[in-house]
Chains A and B, each alone.
Chain A
Amino acid sequence: MALANRINVVGTDELARIHEATVQVLETTGVEFKSDDALALFRENGAEVDGHRVKIPRALLEKSLESAPSSITLWGRDKETTVTLGEGQTRTHVEPSNGCVFTHDMERGRRASSMADLIDFFKLAHQSPVCTISGAIPVEPNDVPPEERPLRIFFETLKHTTKPLKRNVQPAREIEEMFAMYELAVGKGFLADHPSIYASVNPLSPLAFDTEPIETIMTYARHNQPVTVLSCALAGISAPMSLLGAAVLQNADILSGLVLSQMVTPGAGVIYAPATAVPNMMTAQYVTGSPESHLINIVNLQMALELYHLPTRTMAGLNDAKVPDAQAGFETMQNLMQCMLGGAHVINECLGVLDSIMTNSFEKFIMDEEMISRVLRFMEGVNGIHTDLSAELIDTIGPQGSFLMHPTTMKNCRTAWRPTVSDWNNHEKWEKQGEEDAMVRANRIYKERLAACPESTLEPELERELSAFVDKRLG
Chain B
Amino acid sequence: MSTNGWGDFSVTDPPGTVFGDSPEAKGGYTFLIGATENVRRLIMADLKIITDTLIAGDDEALVGHVRAALDDGIPAGTILSEALIAGMDVVGGRMETGEMFIPEVLMSAMAMGGAVEVLKPLLSDDDNLSAGKVVIGTVKGDLHDIGKNLVVMMMESAGFEVTDLGVDVEIDTFLEVIREKRPDIVGISALLTTTMPMMKSTVEQISEAGLRGDVKIMVGGAPVDQDFADEIGADAYAADAGSASKLAKAILA
A residues with a Cβ closer than 8 A to B are 402, 404-405, 407, 409-410, 413-414, 426-429
Contacts and interface: CB of A to CB of B under 8 A. Distances in A.
Interface string B130-158: 00000000000000001001100000000
Closest 6 CB pairs of A and B: A428-B239, A410-B103, A413-B103, A409-B103, A410-B107, A413-B101
- Give the interface SS of chain A, mostly helix, strand, loop or mixed: helix
A426 B224 CA distance: 12
B110 A413 contact: no
Contact of A427 (B104, B106, B149, B225): B225
B239 A405 contact: no
B107 A407 contact: yes
B146 A410 contact: no
Contact of A402 (B57, B146, B239): B146
B239 A426 contact: yes
A19 B99 CA distance: 55
B46 interface: no
- Give the interface SS of chain B, mostly helix, strand, loop or mixed: helix
Contact of B240 (A402, A413, A426): A426
23 contacts: A402-B146, A404-B106, A404-B150, A405-B103, A405-B106, A405-B107, A405-B110, A407-B107, A409-B103, A410-B57, A410-B103, A410-B104, A410-B107, A413-B102, A413-B104, A414-B101, A426-B239, A426-B240, A428-B225, A428-B239, A428-B243, A429-B239, A429-B240
Contact of B146 (A404, A426, A427): A404
A133 B23 CA distance: 68
B149 A402 contact: yes
Contact of B106 (A410, A428, A429): A410
Contacts, number: 33
Given A402-B146, A402-B149, A427 B239 contact: yes
* Size bin of chain B's contact surface: 10 to 19
A427 B104 CA distance: 23
A117 B101 CA distance: 38
Given A410-B57, A427-B225, A404 B103 contact: yes
A426 B240 CA distance: 8
A404 B239 contact: no
Contacts of A414: 101
A429 B225 CA distance: 12
A409 B110 CA distance: 14
B209 to A, nearest CB: 30
Nearest to B150: A404
Contacts of B102: 404, 413
Contacts of B101: 413-414
A410 B109 CA distance: 12
Nearest to B239: A428
A404 B101 CA distance: 11
Contacts of B225: 427-428
Contacts of A404: 102-103, 106, 146, 150
A410 B110 CA distance: 12
Nearest to A403: B103
A76 to B, nearest CB: 33
Contacts of A407: 107
Contacts of B146: 402, 404
A200 B102 CA distance: 47
